[in-house]
């Protein structure tokens, strides 16, 4: 009997799962449903597209390794409205029902745009290719862009905009400093400095309270600029606002079907609490291996691994996903930042850090109860891969980059 | 050079912020011994005199260097030491009439004020106004004006004597 | 260093100590607790002499170059910390050391030479007897280098004058309490340092940004310009208006014309040669002044400071600027604390006025009020211990014991230390601070200058500490415990980091929050202002415990007789003094706030344990001195 697998979402998790299923269960039918009308593309490369160093062709993911595999059917423009677990099928917006033996929900996450801006025609998130196209068009025609959110995505978008030739970018951040959770206080100062040097107007501790406009310009009949009212009382003129203010897991499909909190609850086999239904990617909650807390780790690489693990289990081959170690690599206008695990430890006797600062590079290794718990590299990021491998193994080699003590100034911050 | 560092030693309080700022800007740590600008101190007189590269025409340190390590950036005019060419012969140290070329305490290569690429760090931290970055003639004009007006107001000149 | 065996070694400061005691004065105190045995003779070989640089000394943090000297005081027999500015401490830090601990006593005069890794014991027989300026010159000649920093004693320290100072960079005194005599008793003439190294911080970009804010905050303080332009003596006229200017041995708080004693006068009359700063300081309050003509022509020296003008000037009824400049110069080059020196001289003047000292006792010196030549002459005789000078050199408590009669009544001292020139009768927070200060009635551990409400920043601080703007009145004795406590903690943090107290408790630009940020960026260890102030609390408590170990009780927390028994003149009919009842009320509030036993003043066990001072508690418990 030919097994039928249905995957909702053709992002990192969905594609990885499709590929895995096609290989593990060659006689099966894998149906990949995506609401997007364009062929699947690499989301992380969208900022390269914005910067003008990649074309849409460069973004496309090769079908022969994913949805082009035998047994896999990609259906574009197929939005799934509901899941009927008792009947073992999903319901499309068109009303069509698609049966499954095992279902993987990989709908990812949706941009979380602040309420004051939601739905405004001049506000765009930066999640899909359509979003990226819109921002690229605005930049090309010299429009004034304001970026909301100086987290990883906001910084990437800003860097791409500068590379594309945009000037006078304003970057607004609600929190007191940029890249919260990714860099510590020193890293934040270094990043802020680099942004300032690059002509980016970074304003921290500021949110947008309201949007006015666009005003119609009588002379041209076209649409003029909008005005952003800021929480510090200021006003900002803009043509386009790019909201990089985080994502919310797209759990709507499974609400009422399986357990969800902020994300969908899964075990280490990526099974949800509903029988026969798996979830993987940006919409699930997994264990942060360093902090021991449940978290939504919206990262392409994690999603791929989770998709493969889900697929394995769907095909009856046991596999586990233990959890995530948060990692980010960001280029801040040419200043490299590589960050993993916990880099800004809370007060407490079990945390200690080793900091090496020298010209051109700031490096911080964080330990919890003497074991590696996180690392931050700013400037010189070559050792990031080795440090991440060590972090996953639970130790850094004494003569590896984790113990590089040749720096001129080393500060051991003990657990006290 | 349209602007240079000018010094007014009578205003210098000897706080050493300039040496700290210079070494921090170039080395990333607070290291007066590696500062390109140095204070000459007369402890018993509580007097201090800043000394840094004066950007001479036909600079003796550049002329005497056998390998061409001592030079200037051709486009900006700021001093530049090519450490890869430096053989640590120390002729530059001997040649400079001001003692403004010193040797780095760790590498042994010459250190020389490079005006921080046009934005000198020392000037920013000198609250006493003893170091400025300005066209040379302006310092002389300011000194003349200060002396004349002060002399007419008070009995004696209140600063610079004995410095 | 061990001066007896002429050996030196290095030890690492345990990193936990940086978290619990910060640095500078705090780490010094921890070391003293461990190294000092109960009942040690302060002038004997077993009194450890500890120099400590601030944690941030050597960085560009503004005004962070202060150095603390810690030991048992020969003047009081109690705990002593005394701080000095200049540039010596920063040089020690660049040489790679945060602290210098001197053990033992050298059989012959010696001076230490520290150049990075190199440490030498050098003979100082030829230096013995030289004044401070000459010593500085001689050491530089001996070592063939102008660019070294010298800490030394002058003849006063050699002669074990009870208020001999340790002098840094010629004119900067670690003055109070007689640390110079401890150095003299050890036959240690000088410590010369040269450092070719650097000081790095864990998070350089963040640290640079924090200290930029410190600089800005300091500059914006309303008192900055005045302190910078006119020095510490720039506020003399204001204090006179407040009727708190200690004059005629604390008999009066106000004089008709104080203008000759002010920093403004130093500038306007042409005595000021230049403004001087300690290492990394952006204020530059120190002076270098000189006299060109008249009987004191040729005088040239650092200073005078506020306290010096009041101790050597108005305190002695002397209003002749040039005589004061001369007396100040002599104090500097002999190596004497100006406060105590002026204190004993004015006591002697009152003795003369009251007939307790007769002309035959004076060796021809006319010690009448306002006689500048006499003041100048006595400074020298004190330093050389000649005639009456030998009695005065013992400090005013012992001098009064020697002279006898009622002279103790106008010996303005407590615990054996001459009171700083603040009249506590009209400044109640100072009164409490002076009474509880472990080293004696002195302002340099708890500078409650804010109680005068002299600036918006001071008023804001006082309102916050007392919860009531109406309590901003130096005559108000209520809630003074809270005021003193905050200042104690803040000052301990200040001294631990190496900041000058002028930046945190006289100007207020460098707040505990800024200090915490600077500390965090420097060490890489995130620390809040509360945690830092708590470390300050720990240091203050430890210092108290050192005194408890030596036998201090509540009975020692008193003020001088005159403050407690004689109302301050110039207040009309009001009885303005520090009565026992008023002091008791303030002490009760203070001890309660601190968790110390009211009857004995000893810290309770719970208090000590909460601060992580259990080992201290155990040692004191063995002496039966830890109340439950």
In sequence order, the β-bridge partners of residue A377 are A338, A363
The CA-to-CA distance between both ends of chain A, in Å, stands at 63
Kindly report the CATH number assigned to the domain that includes residue C95: 3.60.9.10
In this model, does residue A414 exceed pLDDT 60? no
C 247-306 residues inside an 8 A Cβ radius of B = 267-268, 270, 272-282, 284, 286, 288, 292, 300, 302
What pLDDT digit, counting tens, does each position of C183-201 carry? 999 999 999 999 999 999 9
- Chain A hits for B27, Cβ within 8 Å: 359, 408
List, as own/partner pairs, every contact residues A86-95 make where C-beta atoms lie below 8 angstroms and the sequence separation is at least 24, other chains included: A88/A276, A90/A6, A90/A8, A90/A33, A92/A33
Give pLDDT, residue A416.
43
SS3 for C557-578 is CCCCHHHHHCCCCCCCCCCCCC
* B41 close contact with C: CB closer than 8 A: yes
Which class is domain B3-155? alpha beta
Q: Which residue of chain A has the CA closest to B25?
A: A359
Best mutation target, C90, C139, C198, C272, to test chain B (most B CBs within 10 A):
C198
Answer yes or no: do C225 and C254 share one domain: yes
Residue B158 to residue C195, Cβ atoms within 8 A:
no
Query: pTM for this structure?
Result: 0.89
Give pLDDT, residue B153.
54
Query: Which comes out higher in pLDDT, residue C411 or C573?
Result: C411
Rounded percentage of chain A residues whose pLDDT exceeds 90 = 75
In sequence order, the β-bridge partners of residue C97 are none
Q: Which residues of B94-132 are buried (b: 16+ CB within 10 A; e: fewer)?
A: ebbeeebbbbbbeeebbbbbbbbeeebbbbbbbbbebbb
Complete DSSP assignment for chain B: ---EEEE-GGG-----HHHHHHHHHHHSSB-GGG-SSEEEEEGGGTEEEEE-----TT-HHHHH-SSS-EEE-TTT--EEE-TTT-----HHHHH-TTS--EE-TTT--EE---GGGGS-HHHHH-TT--EEEE-HHHHHHHHHHHHHHHHHHSSS--SSTT-
Band of residue C568 on the pLDDT scale cut at 50, 70, 90: confident
Band of residue A221 on the pLDDT scale cut at 50, 70, 90: very low
Answer yes or no: do C389 and C534 share one domain: no
Q: Write down the mean pLDDT value for chain A.
A: 90
Give pLDDT, residue B160.
41
* C229 close contact with B: CB closer than 8 A: no
For residue A398 the two structure tokens come to 């004494």
What pLDDT digit, counting tens, does each position of C595-605 carry? 999 999 999 99
Q: Is residue C76 in a domain?
A: yes
Asked if residue C174 lies in contact with residue C24, where contact means CB atoms within 8 angstroms, the answer is no
User: To which residue do tokens 């896999």 refer?
Assistant: A72
Give pLDDT, residue A91.
96
Answer yes or no: do C433 and C399 share one domain: no
Q: Which of C357, C391, C418 is the last residue of a domain?
A: C418
For residue A143 the two structure tokens come to 């429009």
Instruction: Name chain B's partners: 3 or more CB pairs within 8 A.
Output: A, C
Judged by average pLDDT, the poorest of A397-406, C278-287, C409-418 is A397-406
Q: Is residue C215 in a domain?
A: no
For residue C310 the two structure tokens come to 């009041």
Distance (Å) of CA C517 to CA A278, C207, C507, C510, C526 = 47, 8, 19, 11, 8
Give pLDDT, residue B157.
47
Q: Indicate the pairing of strand C188-194 with strand C149-152.
A: antiparallel
Give pLDDT, residue B151.
58
Between CA C523 and CA C533, with CA C529 as vertex, the angle to 5 degrees is: 100
Cα separation, B33 vs C376, whole angstroms:
41
Nearest Cα to C170, choosing from C152, C147, C187, C192?
Answer: C152
* C196 close contact with B: CB closer than 8 A: yes
For residue C172 the two structure tokens come to 């900067």
Answer yes or no: do C382 and C459 share one domain: no
Q: What's the full length of chain B, in residues?
A: 163
Task: Write the DSSP symbol of residue A364.
Answer: E
For residue C202 the two structure tokens come to 């864990």
Give pLDDT, residue A399.
58
C 36-65 residues inside an 8 A Cβ radius of B = 58-60, 62
Give pLDDT, residue A219.
55
Give pLDDT, residue A65.
81
Answer yes or no: do C287 and C330 share one domain: yes
Q: Indicate the pairing of strand A247-249 with strand A109-111.
A: antiparallel
- Chain A hits for C535, Cβ within 8 Å: none
Nearest Cα to C273, choosing from B125, B140, B44, B127?
Answer: B44
In this model, does residue A334 exceed pLDDT 90? yes
Complete DSSP assignment for C409-442: GG--EETTEEPPS--GGG-HHHHHHHHH-TTSS-
Distance (Å) of CA B45 to CA A95, C264, C555 = 94, 21, 46
Q: Write down the mean pLDDT value for chain C.
A: 95
Q: What's the full length of chain C, in residues?
A: 628
Answer yes or no: do C466 and C593 share one domain: yes
Distance from CA of C209 to the nearest CA of B (A): 13
Of B131-140, B144-153, C87-96, C252-261, the range with the highest mean pLDDT is C87-96
- Chain B hits for A409, Cβ within 8 Å: 28-29
Answer yes or no: do C89 and C235 share one domain: no
* A406 close contact with B: CB closer than 8 A: no
| Burial category of C256 from C-beta neighbours within 10 Å (exposed 0-12, middle 13-18, buried 19 and up) | exposed
Q: Is residue C2 in a domain?
A: no
Cα separation, A280 vs C583, whole angstroms:
72
In this model, does residue B140 exceed pLDDT 90? no
Residue B30 to residue C275, Cβ atoms within 8 A:
no
- Chain A hits for C519, Cβ within 8 Å: none
Q: Which of C418, C439, C455 is the last residue of a domain?
A: C418
In this model, does residue A218 exceed pLDDT 70? no
Residue C288 to residue B17, Cβ atoms within 8 A:
no
In this model, does residue A164 exceed pLDDT 60? yes
Q: Is residue C8 in a domain?
A: no
In this model, does residue A396 exceed pLDDT 90? no
Give pLDDT, residue A26.
92
Q: How many CB atoms lie within 10 A of CB B161?
A: 12
- Helices of type H across C160-254: 179-185, 204-220, 224-230, 236-241
Cα separation, C52 vs C65, whole angstroms:
11
Nearest Cα to A177, choosing from A169, A189, A164?
Answer: A189
Answer yes or no: do C268 and C312 share one domain: yes
For residue B68 the two structure tokens come to 């061409």
Between CA C137 and CA C144, with CA C143 as vertex, the angle to 5 degrees is: 80
Band of residue A407 on the pLDDT scale cut at 50, 70, 90: very low
| Burial category of A30 from C-beta neighbours within 10 Å (exposed 0-12, middle 13-18, buried 19 and up) | buried
What pLDDT digit, counting tens, does each position of C384-414 carry? 999 999 999 999 999 999 999 999 999 999 9
In this model, does residue C571 exceed pLDDT 80? no
Answer yes or no: do C384 and C435 share one domain: no
Answer yes or no: do C400 and C428 share one domain: no
Band of residue A411 on the pLDDT scale cut at 50, 70, 90: low
Which SS3 state, helix, strand or coil, does residue A286 take? Answer: strand
Answer yes or no: do C83 and C140 share one domain: yes
Q: Which residue of chain B has the CA closest to A358?
A: B28
Task: Name the residue among B20, B41, B105 with its Cβ closest to that of C60.
Answer: B20
- Chain C hits for A188, Cβ within 8 Å: 206
Nearest Cα to C312, choosing from C288, C337, C292, C291?
Answer: C337
Give pLDDT, residue A408.
40
Mean pLDDT across the stretch C493-506?
96
Cα separation, C288 vs B109, whole angstroms:
38
Answer yes or no: do C477 and C328 share one domain: no
Domain positions in chain B: 3-155
Between CA C173 and CA C182, with CA C177 as vertex, the angle to 5 degrees is: 85
| Burial category of C454 from C-beta neighbours within 10 Å (exposed 0-12, middle 13-18, buried 19 and up) | middle
Complete DSSP assignment for A1-59: ---EEEEE--SHHHHHHHHHHHHHSTTSEEEEE-S-SSPPB-GGGHHHHHHTS--HHHH
Q: What domain count does chain C have?
A: 3
Give the range of the structural domain holding residue C499, as residue numbers without chain letter. 424-622
In this model, does residue B163 exceed pLDDT 70? no
Mean pLDDT across the stretch C324-337?
98
Q: How many CA atoms lie within 13 A of A130 on its CB side?
A: 7
Kindly report the CATH number assigned to the domain that includes residue C606: 1.10.599.10
Give pLDDT, residue A380.
85
């Amino acid at each position: 009997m030919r097994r039928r697998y249905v995957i909702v979402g053709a992002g990192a998790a969905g594609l990885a799962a499709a590929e895995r299923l096609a290989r593990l269960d060659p006689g099966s039918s894998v149906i990949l449903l995506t609401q997007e009308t364009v062929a699947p593309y690499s989301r992380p490369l969208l900022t390269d597209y914005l910067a003008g160093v990649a074309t849409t062709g460069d973004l496309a993911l090769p079908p022969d390794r994913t949805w082009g595999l035998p047994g896999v059917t990609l259906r574009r423009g197929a939005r799934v409205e509901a899941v009927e677990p008792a009947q073992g099928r999903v319901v499309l917006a068109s009303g069509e029902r698609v049966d499954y033996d095992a279902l993987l929900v990989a709908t990812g996450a949706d941009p979380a745009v602040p309420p004051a801006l939601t739905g405004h025609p001049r506000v765009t998130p930066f999640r899909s290719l359509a979003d990226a196209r819109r921002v690229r068009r605005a930049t090309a025609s010299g429009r004034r862009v304001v970026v909301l959110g100086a987290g990883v995505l906001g910084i990437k978008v800003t860097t791409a905009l500068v590379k594309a030739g945009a000037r006078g970018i304003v970057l607004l951040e609600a929190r007191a400093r940029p890249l919260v959770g990714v860099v510590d206080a020193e890293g934040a100062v270094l990043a802020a400095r680099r942004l300032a040097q690059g002509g980016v107007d970074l304003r921290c501790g500021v949110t947008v309270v309201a949007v006015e406009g666009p005003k119609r310009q009588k002379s041209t009949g076209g649409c003029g600029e909008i005005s952003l009212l800021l929480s510090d009382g200021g006003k900002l003129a803009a043509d386009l606002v790019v909201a990089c203010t985080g994502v919310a897991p797209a759990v709507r499909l499974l609400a009422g079907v399986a357990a969800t909190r902020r994300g969908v609850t899964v075990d280490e086999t990526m099974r949800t609490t509903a029988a026969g239904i798996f979830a993987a990617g940006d919409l699930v909650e997994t264990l942060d291996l360093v902090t021991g807390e449940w978290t939504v780790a919206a990262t392409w690489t994690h999603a791929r691994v989770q998709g493969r693990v889900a697929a394995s289990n769907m095909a009856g081959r046991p596999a586990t996903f233990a959890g995530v170690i948060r990692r980010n690599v960001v280029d801040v206008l040419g200043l490299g930042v590589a960050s993993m695990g916990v880099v800004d430890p809370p007060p407490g006797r079990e945390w200690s850090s080793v900091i090496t600062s020298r010209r051109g590079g700031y490096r911080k290794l964080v330990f919890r109860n003497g074991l590696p718990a996180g690392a931050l590299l700013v400037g010189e990021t070559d050792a990031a891969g080795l440090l991440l491998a060590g972090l996953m193994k639970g130790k850094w080699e004494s003569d590896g980059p984790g113990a590089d003590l040749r720096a001129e100034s080393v500060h051991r911050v003990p657990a006290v | 050079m349209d602007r240079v560092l000018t010094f007014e030693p009578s205003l210098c309080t000897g706080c050493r912020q300039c040496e700290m700022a210079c070494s921090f800007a170039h080395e990333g740590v607070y290291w007066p011994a590696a500062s390109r600008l140095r204070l000459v101190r007369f402890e018993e007189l509580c007097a201090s005199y800043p000394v840094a590269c004066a950007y001479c025409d036909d600079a003796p340190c550049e002329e005497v260097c056998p390998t061409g390590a001592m030079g200037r950036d051709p486009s900006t005019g700021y001093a530049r030491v090519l450490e890869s060419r430096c053989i640590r012969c120390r002729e530059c140290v001997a040649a400079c009439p001001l003692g403004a070329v010193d040797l780095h305490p760790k590498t042994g290569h010459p250190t020389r004020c490079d005006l921080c690429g046009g934005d000198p760090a020392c000037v920013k931290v000198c609250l006493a106004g003893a170091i400025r970055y300005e066209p040379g003639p302006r310092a002389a004009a300011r000194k003349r004006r200060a002396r004349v007006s002060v002399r007419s107001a008070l009995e004696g000149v209140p600063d610079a004597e004995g410095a | 260093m061990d001066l007896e065996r002429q050996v030196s070694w290095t030890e690492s400061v345990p990193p936990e100590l940086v978290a619990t005691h910060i640095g500078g004065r705090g780490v010094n105190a921890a070391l003293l607790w461990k190294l000092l045995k109960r009942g040690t003779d302060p002038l004997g070989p077993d009194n450890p002499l500890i120099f400590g640089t601030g944690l941030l000394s050597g960085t560009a943090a503004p005004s962070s170059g202060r150095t603390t000297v810690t030991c048992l005081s020969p003047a009081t027999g109690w705990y002593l910390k005394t701080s000095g500015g200049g540039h010596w401490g920063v040089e020690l830090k660049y040489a790679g050391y945060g602290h210098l601990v001197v053990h033992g006593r050298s059989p012959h005069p010696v001076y230490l030479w520290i150049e990075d890794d190199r440490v030498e014991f050098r003979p100082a027989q030829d230096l013995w007897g030289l004044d401070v300026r000459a010593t500085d010159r001689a050491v530089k000649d001996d070592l063939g280098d102008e660019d070294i920093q010298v800490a030394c004693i002058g003849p006063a320290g050699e002669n074990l004058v009870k208020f001999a100072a340790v002098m840094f960079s010629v004119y900067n005194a670690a003055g109070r309490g007689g640390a110079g005599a401890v150095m003299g008793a050890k036959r240690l003439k000088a410590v010369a340092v040269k450092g070719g190294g650097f000081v790095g911080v864990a998070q350089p970009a963040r640290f640079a940004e924090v200290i930029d804010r410190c600089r800005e905050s300091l500059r914006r303080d309303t008192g900055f310009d005045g302190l910078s332009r006119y020095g510490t003596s720039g506020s003399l006229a204001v204090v006179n208006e407040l009727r708190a200017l200690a004059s005629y041995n604390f008999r009066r708080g106000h004089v008709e014309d104080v203008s000759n004693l002010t920093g403004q006068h130093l500038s306007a009359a042409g005595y000021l040669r230049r403004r001087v700063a300690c290492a990394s300081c952006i204020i530059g309050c120190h002076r270098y002044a000189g006299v060109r003509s008249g009987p004191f022509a040729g005088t040239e020296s650092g200073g005078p400071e506020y306290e010096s003008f009041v101790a050597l000037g108005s305190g002695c009824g002397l209003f002749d600027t040039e005589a004061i400049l001369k007396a100040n110069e002599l104090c500097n080059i002999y190596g004497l604390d100006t406060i105590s020196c002026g204190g004993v001289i004015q006591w002697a003047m009152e003795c003369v006025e009251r007939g307790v000292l007769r002309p035959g006792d004076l060796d021809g010196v006319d010690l009448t009020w306002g006689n500048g030549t006499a003041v100048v002459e006595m400074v020298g005789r004190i330093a050389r211990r000649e005639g009456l000078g030998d009695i005065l050199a013992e400090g005013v408590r012992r001098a009064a014991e020697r002279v006898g009669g009622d002279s103790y009544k106008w010996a303005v001292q407590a615990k054996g230390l001459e009171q700083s020139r603040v009249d506590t009768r009209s400044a109640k927070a100072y009164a409490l601070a002076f009474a509880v200060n472990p080293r004696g009635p002195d302002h340099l551990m708890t500078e409650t200058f804010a109680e005068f409400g002299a600036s918006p920043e001071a008023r804001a601080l006082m309102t916050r500490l007392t919860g009531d703007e109406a309590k901003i009145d130096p005559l108000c004795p209520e809630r003074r415990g809270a005021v003193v406590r905050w200042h104690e903690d803040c000052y301990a943090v200040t001294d631990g980091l190496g900041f000058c107290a002028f930046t945190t408790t006289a100007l207020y630009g460098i707040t505990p929050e800024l200090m915490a940020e600077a500390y965090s960026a420097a060490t890489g260890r995130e620390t809040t202002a509360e945690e830092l102030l708590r470390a300050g609390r720990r240091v203050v408590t430890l210092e108290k415990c050192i005194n408890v170990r030596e036998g201090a009780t509540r009975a020692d927390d008193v003020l001088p007789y005159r403050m407690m028994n004689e109302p301050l003149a110039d207040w009309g009919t009001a009885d303005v003094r520090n009565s026992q009842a008023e002091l008791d009320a303030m002490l009760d509030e203070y001890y309660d706030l601190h968790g110390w036993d009211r009857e004995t003043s000893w810290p309770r066990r719970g208090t000590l344990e909460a601060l992580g001072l259990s080992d201290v508690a155990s040692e004191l418990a063995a002496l039966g001195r830890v109340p439950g």
